[in-house]
Amino acid sequence: MIPGSVRSKIIINSTVVLLILTLATLYTGLASGTLTRSVEVLFRNNLRIEGLVDALSATEASLERYLTNKGSDDLREYIRESTLLADRARVLDRRVVDNPTALQLRLLAGLVDRFLADAGAAVEAKRGRDVAAYALSFDEASLDAELAREAAGALEGSYVSDSLKAFDSFRAGISATLASNAALVLAATLLSFTILVRYTFRLTEPLTRLAEAARAVGRGEYDHELPAIPGGDEIATTAAAFSSMVRSVQAAFHELRSKAQIEKSLMEERVRLLDLDHKLKDAELLALQTQINPHFLFNTLSAGQQLALTEDASRTVDFLENLAAFIRYTLKTPARSVFIRDELECTERYMWLLRLRFGQRFSFRVDADQEALGVRTPALIIQPLVENAVTHGLRNREAGGVVTVKVTGTDTEARIDVSDTGDGMTPADLDRILSEAEDPSLDSGALEGGIGLKNVIRRVSLATGGAGRVEIRSEPGAGTTVSVFLPAFGGDA
């Protein structure tokens, strides 16, 4: 920090003001803390006693219900309430102290203990079918409860009296506390105002002159008289630098105007090219997502579903319902993204159809984190990978195989793994698939398998602007795992 600079002056004077305000605030906080503790003492003990009385009444009521009904639910309720009462009575101070309030507290604890003992005896007598014994024990327990409530009332009165005495002693000093605090705040306010007026004028007067010169230069008046500000602080340095800048600007003005015109033309051309590139990517994404919309087939399936339902062919109804729902999902207008939960629902319907086709030959498993279901993904990503796993990975497996879909997620990324226990692929096959998927000259027809593995790679890259990616791990005879990584910028809806 440079001595005599504007920064050092502001810091020193602001530190003084802040110190005074801090002292005033600390004093106010200490006074408020003392008041809070006094009020807390006023209510803490009373609330504890009220809680004990409530637990006592609840235990007495549950005991009476059990003795009247002898139901297992009533007994469980009594045990729960009596346990709560015992816990609250256990924390009572039972020391023998020469103090009326302490003696009342010890008396209350003894009455509660005696109530619990008599209540327990009544329960045991009830379970032993000794009517006279449990009636006598219940009467004694009721008497104990009444005496305990009276002792609690007296104790609450003592607590209130003691707390009010303590509060009265504190209230006597409130006036002095408020007066001292007001004096501190007033002093800090006056000092702050004095410093503010003094340094505001010293800072703003040269700045105002410099701002007026800047406005004139902004209007193109380069011959405006520039301010001469004496001194060696930052404002004087800024004024000297501004004068030098004005002279440089005037010399380079025409050159900058020419460059600005050229840059404007280049920017307009860049915006036009970016717009064309964006439209081309949208068109490519739409072309990759768009499939033949078999509306006639969907309507026919719906009619077949109604016919099967009429003929009571429940399995055929399930088949047509799942197939129609799967086709309905593909018939939706292609969108930039859907939720992962929608993709999983479509995939599970497709798996149902595969189970119907292959029976027990293939198994399908889905494991998904709930947190990742709200992340957005390009449409028709998971189902093509499952189809690819069955038609290419497991087609030669006579003994069958397993296809697993696993979805996990973090705060920044969601991951979709589609694994199979099939034949796997060679490194050469993997290189060929990845190179063909990255070649923009190949349309969806050139990518073998329609909306298969290669198409999925293309669409993930396009739909996420390159933020998403697809990784493939495969070994011949050891199966294949396709992992799709998606940025978690989509929210749950």
300 in any annotated domain: no
- Nearest Cα to Cα of residue 382 among 353, 356, 406: 406
| DSSP state, residue 169 | H
Which range has highest mean pLDDT (335-339, 438-442, 488-492)? Answer: 335-339
**Sheet arrangement for strand 401-409:** 362-368, 401-409, 413-420, 480-487, 469-474
35 in any annotated domain: yes
CATH assignment at residue 13: 1.20.120.1730
10-30: average pLDDT: 72
- Give the rounded percent of residues in the chain with a pLDDT score beyond 70: 71
Stretch (H or E) spanning 417:
strand 413-420
The model's pLDDT over 187-200, given as tens digits with 9 standing for 90+, comes to: 878 887 787 777 77
Of the two residues 383 and 397, the one the predictor is more confident about is 383
Give the C-alpha separation, 382 to 378, whole Å. 10
Is pLDDT of 449 > 70?
no
Of the two residues 471 and 465, the one the predictor is more confident about is 471
Domain tally for the chain? 2
Is pLDDT of 401 > 80?
yes
Residue at a domain's end among 172, 191, 210: 172
For residue 471, what pLDDT is reported?
93
- In Å, how far from its chain's centre is CA 157? 48
63 in any annotated domain: yes
Residue at a domain's end among 172, 202, 233: 172
β-partners of residue 482 are: 418, 472
137-159: average pLDDT: 84
Give the C-alpha separation, 420 to 481, whole Å. 7
Q: Long-range contacts made by residues 211-215, C-beta under 8 angstroms, separation at least 24?
A: 213/242, 214/242
For residue 446, what pLDDT is reported?
38
CATH assignment at residue 352: 3.30.565.10
The model's pLDDT over 376-388, given as tens digits with 9 standing for 90+, comes to: 898 888 988 998 8
CA 178, 180, 185, 191: dihedral to nearest 10 degrees? 160
Question: Structural domain of residue 122, as residue ranges?
Answer: 6-172
DSSP-derived secondary structure for 331-386: HSPP-S-EEHHHHHHHHHHHHHHHHHHHTTSEEEEEEE-GGGTTSEE-SSSHHHHH
- Nearest Cα to Cα of residue 148 among 85, 211, 196: 85
For residue 286, what pLDDT is reported?
52
299 in any annotated domain: no
198 in any annotated domain: no
- In Å, how far from its chain's centre is CA 386? 33
For residue 367, what pLDDT is reported?
94
Give the C-alpha separation, 63 to 75, whole Å. 8
What are the helix (H) ranges across 94-130?
100-127
For residue 333, what pLDDT is reported?
47
Residues 242, 226 contacting (CB under 8 angstroms): yes
Is pLDDT of 99 > 80?
no
Give the C-alpha separation, 408 to 415, whole Å. 5
Residue at a domain's end among 118, 145, 172: 172
Query: pTM of the entire structure?
Result: 0.41
- Nearest Cα to Cα of residue 120 among 133, 107, 104, 106: 133
322 in any annotated domain: no
323 in any annotated domain: no
pLDDT tier at 464, thresholds 50, 70, 90: confident
Determine phi and psi for 359, rounding to 5 degrees: 65, -130
Is pLDDT of 335 > 60?
no
